[in-house]
Structure 1
Amino acid sequence: MSFKFEKLVIWQKSMDFGEQVFNLSQSFPKDEVFNLTSQIRRAADSIALNISEGSILQSKLEFKKFLGYSIRSLAETVTCLYKAKNRKYITEIEFERFYNESYILMNQIIAFRNQIRE
């Protein structure tokens, strides 16, 4: 027995991405715990959360809307990555890695959303 969203590759990848962002943010300064650390974790977690929420008992139109929320959460995560890089909490190499993963994930979510026919 499983939930429909568990079979979705975009949900699986967004779950992994959220864990990677969590691990990355553990090295942020303690004075950022209620600011950037919390923000980037919530944004990254919201990607998978919106995919799962939208897939359950929703119309196709509603599901597409929730996938849009996931994409926006991903954009928010990228902005937090820029903040972390600018504040020297992460290296340029770490930024590039997460940026590239974000871009790939965004395109996968968009492609999945575009396949949903109402």
Structure 2
Amino acid sequence: MAFRFEDLHVWKKALELDSRINLLTKTFPNDELFVLTAQIKRATDSVVLNIAEGSTGQTKKVFKVFLSYALRSAIEVVSCLFIARERGFIDSRNFKELYNDYEELVKMLTALRKSF
């Protein structure tokens, strides 16, 4: 693999979740396209992108900062999932599944940050 981030389990997990959220948002109503749909997609993309950007040959201190951004974006995704559930765009089973997966991702990001 050509880039360091491609070997990171946390990046792979974030990318997999990004794909799942993208599929989920295709079921949201059209009137949410520029509201919740756009917001959750930006947040999920941000998690993946910040992990990758932070890993690119910078200092561990700088990488920690980017991991903090990724962590905040992951929390934003979880909050968007709550909104989607409240608005009836996601059922309880899918909510719980994604919630648990994002909880795992947050733990992974936190552990990686603490390892520096």
TM bracket (short chain): over 0.9
SS of equivalent to 1:2: coil
SS of equivalent to 1:57: coil
SS of equivalent to 1:62: helix
Aligned to 1:109: 109
Asked if 1:46 is matched to 2:59, the reply is: no
Unpaired segments ≥5 residues, structure 1:
none
Aligned to 2:22: 22
Per the TM alignment, residue 59 of structure 1 is displaced from its structure 2 partner at its CA by 1.2
Asked if 1:9 is matched to 2:9, the reply is: yes
Identity %: 42
Unpaired segments ≥5 residues, structure 2:
none
Q: Distance in 2 between matches of 1:2 and 1:37?
A: 32
- TM-score, normalising length: structure 2: 0.97
Q: Distance in 1 between matches of 2:104 and 2:57?
A: 28
Aligned to 1:73: 73
Asked if 1:32 is matched to 2:32, the reply is: yes
Q: 4+ residue stretches of structure 1 with deviation over 2 A?
A: none
Q: Distance in 2 between matches of 1:55 and 1:7?
A: 10
Q: Distance in 1 between matches of 2:26 and 2:38?
A: 10
